[in-house]
Amino acid sequence: MGNTSSWIVLGSLVLSSLSIACSSSSSAGGVTTDGGTASGDDGGSSVALDGGVATDASAEDAGPPRKVIFITREFFDVKTSGFNGIAKADELCKSWADAKASKVKGKTWKVWMSDSKTNARDRLSNSALYVRVDGKVIGTLDDLTHGTMKNPVGLDEYGTAAVIMSSAVTGTAFDGQADTAGTCGDWLDTSPGREVTLGDPTKTDSSWTNSADFAEDCSSLGGQFYCVEQ
């Protein structure tokens, strides 16, 4: 009888050890009692929405801050809009970005534009990675100023493709510095006989900011802007 009791006690200890081992193994494998995965295993990278802009959360955590660039849907006419230079263009970027159906509300913006005292490139962060409204990467400031963009700006503040033959008023040369011959006298001179520098939002080379495909006289100055998140 004594031997029998000993065997029963020993058997109970073995079963208890096996139960503990199985429980530890299940926990290490990331399995929870509700059939899901443990918090340490996210099953892949997740996508976050930041002000309506889709971003890869893991990529954003690991890399530089992502900033949006869009081309405005609205056209402006310098003779009717009260436009008088870069500061006014910054205000217009903010106004259009905060429109009711816009996907980029609540941010700070600067226009990609130059004049005789300002280079567009100097208004941007050198550490940011610039993206479109849909989250697709455009590139770094170095890409913008060397014509090596991964995707064109292409989209307006609503995430809609720019209309055919859209052009952005930039006054900016290929390298991001002012093209003073194309700034219409710092955006104040609408006399005829001078051409404004324009960019093509469908391009990924340097013509995105300085395109030979577009020509516009300062006397009819008008168009769209590139707005850049700060």
Query: pLDDT per residue over 84-133, tens digit each?
Result: 889 999 999 999 999 988 999 999 999 999 999 999 999 998 899 999 99
How would DSSP label each residue in the chain?
-HHHHHHHHHHHHHHHHHHHHHHHHHHHTTB-TTSSB-TT--SS--EEEETTEEEEHHHHHHSPPEEEEEE-SS-EETTTS---SHHHHHHHHHHHHTSTT-SSTT--EEE---BTTB-GGGGS-SS-EEE-TTS-EEE-HHHHTTT--SS---B-TTSPBPPTT--EE--B-TTSSB-GGGSHHHHT---SS-B--EE-TT-SSGGGTS-TT---BGGG-EEB-EEEE-
Model pLDDT, residue 9: 37
Highest mean pLDDT among 26-35, 95-104, 140-149, 212-221: 140-149
Q: Is-above-0.75 flag for pTM?
A: no
Q: Calculate mean pLDDT across residues 192-216.
A: 93
- Burial label for 191, CB within 10 Å (0-12, 13-18, 19+), is exposed
For the chain, what are the domain ranges? 52-229
- Both tokens of 171, joined, read 């006054």
Pick the more confident residue, 78 or 120: 120
Fold held by 52-229: Mannose-Binding Protein A; Chain A (3.10.100)
Model pLDDT, residue 48: 37
Rounded to whole angstroms, the maximal C-alpha distance in the chain is 116
Average pLDDT, the chain: 78
- Both tokens of 134, joined, read 């849909």
- Tens-digit pLDDT profile for residues 10-36: 344 333 443 434 344 333 433 333 333
Model pLDDT, residue 79: 64
pLDDT band for position 186 (cuts 50, 70, 90):
very high
Specify the length of the chain in residues: 230
Looking at 98-160, list the stretches that DSSP marks H as alpha helix, in order from N- to C-terminal side: 141-144
Percent of the chain beyond pLDDT 90?
Answer: 55
